[in-house]
């Protein structure tokens, strides 16, 4: 039996010689090296492939990554499920941002959205607007106007507190929400907490109540109601109270009374414009200004002693000034003829402006800022085709322009702001003859008739009767149409209409039953009514405001100027005056 045999060992295990073991080791080492080389090469190949893939992905020549993003979102949107979730998510974001007020206003304020707010403040005791009420909102502050209205702008949106306060009234603090837009807050009423004083405001002539008249004392103010009643609230009145009552078109009235009184203060309001008149009571022709209640009389332009009696005085239809033609400068031409001077006087500050001088000047009328007049050229012969010049003078710019010239003018009128003129045929080329209409500055010249016109008769407010030799024509003023008449009117007359500043009424003087009659025409209604029937009424007539006018009275024993209101009441004498000319019929 072999002593090397061991039955516990595996029968398949064979012991190799050492030479064989060395060969196996060499084979293993080569195999490992080959594996390492293969792995290294494959790794390098993978890195190169990855570099090529990345380069290709971001290379503009090979692919557009932006387009891939667009493609991704397009595929996303085309997916019905993804689309539904996207819309739902956007709606949820919208709800969170804009339905929740705090978030909504925060976003809108951040991007610069701003709003405004309007409101109106009334006195709770009178229901009248309160002026100069302070309104504070979102760091902004503003004051109410005379209508009690106020607007605050550039306000941030959202919840805030509005504060409304005025001395003598209970303060109001109110929570509000400012949204996108104008945010009207409506009417807010303040309750008076001070002492109230009452005033009754009426017109000097008509005795009718005047609404919207303002009373002020320090910072306190109040407006009259439709009955002319003012209730002025003072926080802590002094022993003596001073109050100013004023309104546009009226003279300011200042009254003083006890701070303990409960009596109603009656105040008569007088037009703010002065009345100008000539008086010779000093022995010279002095020009005065005066309020129609006889107060504040003052000499504006003293006479020089060289004035002739043919003085013209023409008040502006709305402004506080007058135009005067007189020989007061005592200037003579080469023939020893006393020259006339045209002067404009501002009655507010009594300043005078010399406009022109000539042998003869006649004022036609005012139109806006312009005074239309005719002057005879000094020293020109009677045969001169330009002896008379029709001129427009702008009192604000102090500039003059020539509208037309002729040896003389047959007739000139200013109607509705337009100048109508007809030159005489003497020394004038036939092609220049006719009746023309131009604006006050000489522009927009229109031909009405292309032949010599002798006279213009304003027989009605909207109609002119035109005499041309033996022929007669009717001219419709509003539509500028001319109609030939079969014959002369039965009784042609020229009415001198004077329009109120608001163009709602026109006044003219007539004679009926031997007496002077002042006629008031309601222009829109085309209705005439007798305003005053009195022997001695005559021109000139002019308006002080839309309701008050002045007329001349001369019955042979007395010459004076009177004021009257179209709203009723009796006329009242202003002052005795010297009879002077004004807007009347053309002197030719």
Q: What are 362-416's pLDDT values in tens digits?
A: 999 999 999 999 999 877 677 888 899 999 999 999 999 999 999 989 999 999 9
Domain-embedded: residue 316: no
- Pair 226, 212: CB distance under 8 Å: no
Domain-embedded: residue 552: no
Is 132 in the same domain as 84? no
Please name which of 562, 539, 560 lies closest in space to residue 549, comparing C-alpha atoms: 562
Is 167 in the same domain as 233? no
| Domain stop point among 129, 164, 190 | 190
Predicted confidence at residue 23, as pLDDT, reads 46
Predicted confidence at residue 383, as pLDDT, reads 82
Please name which of 395, 400, 419, 394 lies closest in space to residue 409, comparing C-alpha atoms: 419
CB atoms < 10 A from the CB of 396, how many? Answer: 9
Predicted confidence at residue 385, as pLDDT, reads 85
Beta-sheet pairing, 548-554 with 360-367: unpaired
pLDDT of 510 strictly over 80: yes
Q: How far is CA 466 from CA 96, 362, 420, in A?
A: 81, 22, 12
Cα–Cα distance, 205 to 187 (Å, whole number)? 36
Is 434 in the same domain as 486? yes
Q: What are 326-335's pLDDT values in tens digits?
A: 999 988 887 7
* Edge-to-edge strand ranges of the sheet holding 240-246: 220-223, 214-217, 240-246, 253-258
Is 98 in the same domain as 224? no
Domain-embedded: residue 64: no
How big is the CA angle at 308 (ends 357 and 411), to the nearest 5 degrees?
60
- Pair 408, 588: CB distance under 8 Å: yes
Domain-embedded: residue 450: yes
Is 51 in the same domain as 131? no
Q: What are 307-331's pLDDT values in tens digits?
A: 999 999 999 999 999 999 999 998 8
Is 37 in the same domain as 122? no
How many structural domains are present in the chain? 5
Domain-embedded: residue 389: yes
Cα–Cα distance, 189 to 177 (Å, whole number)? 19
Is 363 in the same domain as 485? yes
Q: What percentage of the chain has pLDDT greater than the value 70? A: 82
CB atoms < 10 A from the CB of 4, how many? Answer: 4
Q: What are 413-433's pLDDT values in tens digits?
A: 999 999 999 999 888 777 778
Domain-embedded: residue 277: no
Is 139 in the same domain as 262? no
Q: What are 153-162's pLDDT values in tens digits?
A: 999 999 999 9
Cα–Cα distance, 382 to 427 (Å, whole number)? 10
Q: What are 8-66's pLDDT values in tens digits?
A: 444 444 444 444 444 444 544 454 555 455 545 555 554 455 555 545 544 554 446 66
Q: Where is pLDDT greater, at 110 or 435?
A: 435
Is 389 in the same domain as 416? yes
Looking up residue 147, the CATH number of its domain turns out to be: 2.60.40.10
pLDDT of 451 strictly over 70: yes
| Residue 216 domain boundaries | 195-269
Q: What are 243-282's pLDDT values in tens digits?
A: 999 998 899 999 999 999 999 999 999 999 999 999 999 9
* Edge-to-edge strand ranges of the sheet holding 184-190: 149-155, 115-123, 184-190
Domain-embedded: residue 229: yes
Beta-sheet pairing, 115-123 with 149-155: antiparallel
State the distance between the two ends of the chain, measured CA to CA, in whole angstroms. Answer: 182
CB atoms < 10 A from the CB of 15, how many? Answer: 5
Q: Where is pLDDT greater, at 25 or 351?
A: 351
| Domain stop point among 190, 224, 250 | 190
pLDDT of 100 strictly over 90: no
Is 475 in the same domain as 387? yes
Predicted confidence at residue 349, as pLDDT, reads 94
Is 370 in the same domain as 453? yes
Is 252 in the same domain as 199? yes
Q: What are 186-215's pLDDT values in tens digits?
A: 999 999 998 999 999 999 999 999 999 999
| Domain stop point among 217, 240, 269 | 269
pLDDT of 586 strictly over 80: no
Domain-embedded: residue 525: no
**471-502 burial code (b ≥16 CB/10 A, e <16):** ebbbbebeeeeeeeeeeeeeeeebbbbbbbee
């Amino acid at each position: 039996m072999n002593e090397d045999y061991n039955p516990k060992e595996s029968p398949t295990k064979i012991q190799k010689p050492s030479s064989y073991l060395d060969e196996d080791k060499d084979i293993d080492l080569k195999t490992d090296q080959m594996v390492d080389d293969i792995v290294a090469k494959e790794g390098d190949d993978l890195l190169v492939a990855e570099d090529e893939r990345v380069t290709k992905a971001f290379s503009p020549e090979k692919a557009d990554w932006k387009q891939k993003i667009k493609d991704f979102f397009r595929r996303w949107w085309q997916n019905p499920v993804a689309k539904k979730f996207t819309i739902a998510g956007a709606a949820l974001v919208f709800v969170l941002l804009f339905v929740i007020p705090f978030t909504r206003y925060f976003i809108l304020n951040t991007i610069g959205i701003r709003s405004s707010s309007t409101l109106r403040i009334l006195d709770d005791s009178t229901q009248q607007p309160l002026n100069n009420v302070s309104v504070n909102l979102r760091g902004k502050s503003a004051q109410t106007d005379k209508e009690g209205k106020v607007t605050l702008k550039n306000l941030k949106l959202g919840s805030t507190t509005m504060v409304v306060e005025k001395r003598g009234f209970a303060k109001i603090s109110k929570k509000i929400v400012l949204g996108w837009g104008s945010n009207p807050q409506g009417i807010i009423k303040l309750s008076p907490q001070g002492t109230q004083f009452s005033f009754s405001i009426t017109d000097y002539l008509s005795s009718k109540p005047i609404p919207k008249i303002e009373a002020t004392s320090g910072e306190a103010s109040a407006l009259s109601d439709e009955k002319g009643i003012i209730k002025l609230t003072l926080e802590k009145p002094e022993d003596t109270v001073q109050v100013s009552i004023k309104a546009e078109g009226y003279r300011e009235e200042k009254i003083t009374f006890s701070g303990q009184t409960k009596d109603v203060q009656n105040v008569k309001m007088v037009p703010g414009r002065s009345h100008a008149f000539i008086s010779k009571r000093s022995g010279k022709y002095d020009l005065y200004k005066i309020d129609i209640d006889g107060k504040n009389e003052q000499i504006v332009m003293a006479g020089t002693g060289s004035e002739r009696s043919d003085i013209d005085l023409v008040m502006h239809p709305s402004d506080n000034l007058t135009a005067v033609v007189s020989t007061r400068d005592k200037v003579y031409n080469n023939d020893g003829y006393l020259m006339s001077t045209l002067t404009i006087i501002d009655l507010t500050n009594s300043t005078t402006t010399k406009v022109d001088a000539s042998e003869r000047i006649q004022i036609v009328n005012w139109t806006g800022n312009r005074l239309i007049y005719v002057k005879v050229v000094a020293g020109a012969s009677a045969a001169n085709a330009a002896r008379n010049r029709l001129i427009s003078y702008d009192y604000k710019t102090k500039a003059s322009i020539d509208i037309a010239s002729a040896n003389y003018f047959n007739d000139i009128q200013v109607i509705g702001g337009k100048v109508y003129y007809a030159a005489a045929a003497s020394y004038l080329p036939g092609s220049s003859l006719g009746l023309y209409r131009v604006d006050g500055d000489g522009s927009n010249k229109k031909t009405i008739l292309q032949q010599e016109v002798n006279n213009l008769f304003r027989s009605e407010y909207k109609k002119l009767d035109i005499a041309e030799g033996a022929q007669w024509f009717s001219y419709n003023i509003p539509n500028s149409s001319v109609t030939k008449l079969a014959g002369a009117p039965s009784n042609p007359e020229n009415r001198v209409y004077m329009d109120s500043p608001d163009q709602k009424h026109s006044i003219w003087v007539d004679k009926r039953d031997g007496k002077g009659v002042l006629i008031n025409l309601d222009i829109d209604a085309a209705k005439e009514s007798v305003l005053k029937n009195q022997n001695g009424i005559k021109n000139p007539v002019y308006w002080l405001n839309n309701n008050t006018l002045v007329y001349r009275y001369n019955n042979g024993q007395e010459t004076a100027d009177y004021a009257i209101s179209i709203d009723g009441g009796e006329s009242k004498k202003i002052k005795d005056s010297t009879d002077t000319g004004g807007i009347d019929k053309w002197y030719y």
